[in-house]
Amino acid sequence: MKLTFLGASGEVTGSCYLVDTGAFKFLIDCGMFQGGPGGARATDRKNRRFAFDPREIAFVLLSHAHIDHSGLIPRLVAQGFRGEVYATRATCDLLAVMLPDSAHLQEKEAEYRARSDRSAAPLYTVREAQASLARLLPVEYDATLEPHAGIGCVFRDAGHILGSAILEVTLRVGGRETRLVFSGDLGQPGRPILRDPARVARADVLLVESTYGDREHKNPAQTLDEFAYAINDTMRSRKGNVVIPAFAVGRTQDILYHIADLARQGRVGPMTVYVDSPMATAATRITLAHPELHDRETGQLADWLSGSAADRHGLKFRFTEDLADSKRINDIRSGAVIVSASGMCEGGRVRHHLKYNLPRRECAIVFVGFQAAGTLGRRIVEGAKTVRLFGESCPVRAKVFTIGGLSAHADRGALLGWLDGFARPPRRTWVVHGEPLASHALCEAISRRAGWHAALPAPGQTVGLD
């Protein structure tokens, strides 16, 4: 049996792992590469070439709905995959919105590129994305399924975004049994809305993410102090707007929770919060439709919002789906909190809001999530004085805040704490889904533990699972 690392090795996007049992092959995740070294052309080439024949893949186990884990499923299906994609029910609900939206963005990007390159084509079309949804098969947390003879799989709650899962895969081949555990993206314990990541007791081979493997998040109280300060400093003192680039799924819902909670505590003043992302609006509706996955605090805050208290605090939420409504937001000069995708500023409506607010000293850009190398968000965070938006130079004069404690990813301490749940060390631990410094730091920390054998896979590396 063999495992090949086809993405998220030395980087945080493109999650995809190929398992070859000798009798059949299957994938764990099928994610899109975003940003990264070499620029847009290099990323596009990586997304267009599968290192396997899609027709030979028996099935896919999908950890969660984020596009860097799921975004190439339509292309996989379009190129001949005819198996099932197993995912939690909430993940399937999210993908019904996210994959067609991703295809729409692909088509628009291809139209733009076609002005200078007639051969430009989208990775996949909206029609192909819609067709790929027929391959989804929803599963429940903690239930054992058998996607193929000799394979057992259990999805555990990862606490990262709605429906996210840790995958426990048991391979029974040639009279031997091997348990492969894939952490997926692990959530930070104590985050709002979702439950904490489930513990796993046993693995022979473990793949663990390392997005924040080299650092600790700020404590929640300090994080919320910084968030409240960013809002109040901008809206009260400098009379500007706050733009928050946020992933439509997971991060946007967390941000809305925190703003409502700060308002409930009287720590921020009256404001109108514009959620300018059809995807985020849909994801929020889906989140509200799955109360069984929420923690107790979220239920209490939902009760507060459903009454008249929010109105008394001057807190208003506006969800914009119409493009004309989105454009009208850019006419607002003061007092708006604009939450918009994409979270790394690589596409979507947030780029328009950056165009109108980045050059204004009275405004603020608040980053609340990881910014991968090579992305526009990363360049702004690292202090770029000008950036390119829609082919034009845009000065960066707005105040830039980075609120790291709001991340949906477990930090170093939480990752090591999750590993403490194993009754004994796995035979081999592979550290994935992290930029080199973060992955190396976590790998070293794991290797210092008694009995743990941790290593970093190279992109495309194949290892034995026997």
Question: What are the structural domain ranges in the chain?
Answer: 2-215+408-464, 220-406
CATH code for 2-215+408-464? Answer: 3.60.15.10
How high is the pLDDT of residue 310? 59
Single-letter amino acid, residue 260 = A
Percentage above 70 pLDDT, the chain? 98
Number of residues that make up the chain: 466
CA angle 123-124-126, nearest 5°?
A: 145
Q: What is the pLDDT of residue 346?
A: 86
376-379: long-range pairs with CB below 8 Å, 24+: 376/344, 376/345, 376/346, 376/351, 377/245, 377/343, 377/344, 377/345, 377/346, 378/35, 378/344
Residue 312 has pLDDT above 80, yes or no: no
Q: Which residue has the higher pLDDT, 363 or 279?
A: 363
Among the listed residues 262, 221, 230, 223, the one whose alpha carbon sits nearest the alpha carbon of residue 365 = 230
What mean pLDDT, rounded, does the chain reach? 92
**HSE-up (13 A, CA, CB side) for residue 217:** 28
Return the amino acid letter for 11.
E
Lowest-confidence segment of 29-43, 131-145, 173-187, 232-246 by average pLDDT: 29-43
Q: 304 falls in which pLDDT band (50, 70, 90)?
A: low
How many CB atoms sit inside 10 A of residue 388's CB? 11
- State yes or no: pLDDT of 148 exceeds 60: yes
The pLDDT tens digits of the residues spanning 14-58 come to 999 999 999 999 999 999 998 777 778 889 999 999 999 999 999
* pTM for the predicted model, two decimal places: 0.88
Mean pLDDT (whole number) for 119-140: 96
* Token pair recorded at residue 312: 């008394």
Pick from 17, 44, 153: nearest CA to 88: 153
C-alpha torsion sign, points 415, 419, 425, 427: negative
- In tens, the pLDDT along 194-226 reads 999 999 999 999 999 999 999 999 888 899 999
Tokens found for residue 264: 């409930």
Give the pLDDT confidence of 340-386 residue by residue, as tens digits.
Answer: 988 889 888 999 999 999 999 999 999 998 888 888 999 999 999 99
In CATH, the architecture of 220-406 is 3-Layer(aba) Sandwich (3.40)
Query: What Cα–Cα distance (Å) separates residue 454 from each residue in 344, 390, 445, 448, 450?
Result: 30, 44, 9, 9, 11
Distances (CA, A) of 439 to 15, 208, 292, 430: 15, 10, 34, 10
Nearest to 156 by CA among 64, 224, 219: 64
The model's confidence at residue 315, banded by pLDDT at 50, 70 and 90, is confident
Question: What tokens appear for 394 in the block?
Answer: 């845009």
Q: Which stretches does DSSP call E strand in 133-289? A: 136-139, 144-148, 151-157, 165-173, 176-182, 205-209, 242-245, 271-276
